[in-house]
């Protein structure tokens, strides 16, 4: 099937009869249709991001993007890692913030409602109820192994066991059916850096990847990994190739916690995807998946020099 903006058959969802024209096709000013979305970005509500949402939108326009899907960290009950997420009573503020930005940029930039939800065993029903409270376009499912609650529950002093537990949780997240894409899906490498073997890990996690492929859930290629302890995207090339072999679709996100990172290193992400054998990236609107060709994405981006300047600056590692 050609990529273009042709919608895929739905993964595991009922046939939504998607409309090809649902995707906006703005102009980048460079002659190529704007097709790229930043599908992972945050707001100040999560307490570790900076900048007004309008600044993120403005940077997206400067990069030639068609839209942004705001995916801030979801609230969690019981004070669970409350220092890196919006409070429960801020959830409506979040919805209003995204809606106001959508209205302010109507006709210029497509602003979509998403959420980055933690997968933590025992909280599935809480997340499910949260997702009923608004019409989300896109939901990321994340395992954050560096958070204190996760470490307290699952770090037993054995890096190999911890790594397996992390990928087991990713597979469980996929099997909940709650999420469209699994965010930064080898984040654990930064916790087990000394024993991480990028090539060697693939045979150890094939069972987990098979389960994710069977669940029909996407995985994310997250460019913020370039600025972390193991300085490569999440996932790295070996896992990305193993995903491609299994037909796991990929969403691309910068995980921007400041406006200047919107669309950051997307050109490099497309290079890695192409090297792994991918021809398309996926994105979601109304929880339905669409595909866009990597070539179209690449042709529509602008502001590359600025993105490279970001690279030279060195960026603060993302905390959650």
Contacts of 279 (CB under 8 A, 6+ apart): 3, 293, 294
| CA of residue 241 relative to chain centroid, distance | 18
Prior bond of 154 cis (ω within 30°) = no
Cβ closest to Zn ion, residue 45 vs residue 183: 183
Cβ closest to Zn ion, residue 48 vs residue 241: 48
Minimum distance of Zn ion from residue 49's CB (angstroms): 7
Minimum distance of Zn ion from residue 51's CB (angstroms): 13
Closest CA to 111 of 174, 50, 167, 69: 69
Q: What's the chain look like in SS3?
A: CCCCCCECCCCCCCCCCCCHHHCCCEECCCCCEECCEEEEECCHHHCCCCCCHHHHHHHHHHCCCCEEEECCECCCCCCCCHHHCCCHHHHHHHHHHHHHHHHHCCCCCEEEEEEEEECCCCCHHHHHHHHCCCCCCEEEEECCCCCHHHHHHHCCCCHHHHHHHHHHHHHHHHHHCCCCEECCCCHHHHCCHHHCCCCCHHHHHHHHHHHHHHHCCEEEEEHHHHHCCCCCCECCHHHHHHHHHCCCCEEEECCECCHHHCCCCHHHHHHHHHHHCCCEEEEEECCEEEEEEHHHHHHHCCCHHHHHHHHHHCCCCCCC
Minimum distance of Zn ion from residue 54's CB (angstroms): 20
Minimum distance of Zn ion from residue 114's CB (angstroms): 12
Minimum distance of Zn ion from residue 86's CB (angstroms): 11
Residue nearest to Zn ion (CB): 320
Minimum distance of Zn ion from residue 72's CB (angstroms): 8
Cβ closest to Zn ion, residue 4 vs residue 81: 81
Cβ closest to Zn ion, residue 7 vs residue 259: 259
Residues at the site binding Zn ion, with contacts judged by CB under 5 A: 142, 183, 320
Cβ closest to Zn ion, residue 18 vs residue 266: 266
Whether the CA torsion 106, 52, 77, 145 is positive or negative: it is positive
Cβ closest to Zn ion, residue 142 vs residue 272: 142
Cβ closest to Zn ion, residue 142 vs residue 190: 142
Cβ closest to Zn ion, residue 64 vs residue 138: 138
Minimum distance of Zn ion from residue 225's CB (angstroms): 11
Minimum distance of Zn ion from residue 269's CB (angstroms): 16
């Amino acid at each position: 099937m050609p990529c273009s903006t042709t919608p895929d058959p739905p993964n595991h969802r009922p046939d939504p009869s998607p409309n090809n024209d649902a995707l906006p096709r703005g102009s980048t000013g460079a002659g190529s249709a704007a097709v790229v979305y930043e599908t992972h970005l945050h707001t100040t509500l999560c307490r570790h991001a900076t900048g007004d949402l309008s600044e993120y939108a403005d940077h997206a326009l400067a990069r030639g993007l068609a839209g942004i899907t705001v995916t801030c960290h979801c609230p969690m009950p019981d004070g669970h890692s409350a220092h890196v997420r919006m409070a429960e009573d801020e959830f409506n503020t979040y919805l209003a913030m995204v809606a106001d930005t959508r209205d302010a940029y109507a006709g210029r930039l497509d602003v979509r409602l998403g959420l980055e939800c933690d997968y933590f065993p025992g909280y599935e029903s809480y997340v499910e109820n949260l997702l009923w409270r608004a019409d989300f376009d896109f939901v990321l499912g994340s395992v954050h192994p560096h958070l204190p609650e996760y470490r307290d529950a699952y770090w037993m002093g054995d890096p190999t066991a911890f790594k397996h537990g992390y990928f087991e949780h990713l597979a469980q997240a996929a099997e909940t059916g709650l999420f469209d894409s699994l965010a930064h899906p080898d984040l654990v490498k930064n916790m087990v850096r000394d024993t991480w073997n990028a090539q060697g890990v693939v045979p150890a996690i094939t069972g987990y990847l098979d389960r994710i492929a069977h669940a029909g859930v996407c995985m994310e290629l997250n460019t913020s990994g370039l600025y972390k302890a193991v300085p490569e995207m999440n996932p790295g090339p070996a896992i990305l190739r193993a995903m491609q072999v299994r037909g796991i679709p990929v969403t691309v996100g910068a995980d921007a916690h400041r406006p200047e990172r919107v669309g950051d290193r997307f050109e490099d992400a497309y290079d890695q995807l192409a090297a792994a054998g991918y021809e398309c990236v996926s994105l979601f609107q109304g929880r339905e998946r669409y595909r866009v060709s990597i070539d179209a994405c690449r042709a529509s981006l602008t502001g590359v020099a600025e993105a490279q300047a970001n690279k030279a600056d060195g960026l603060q590692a993302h905390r959650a």
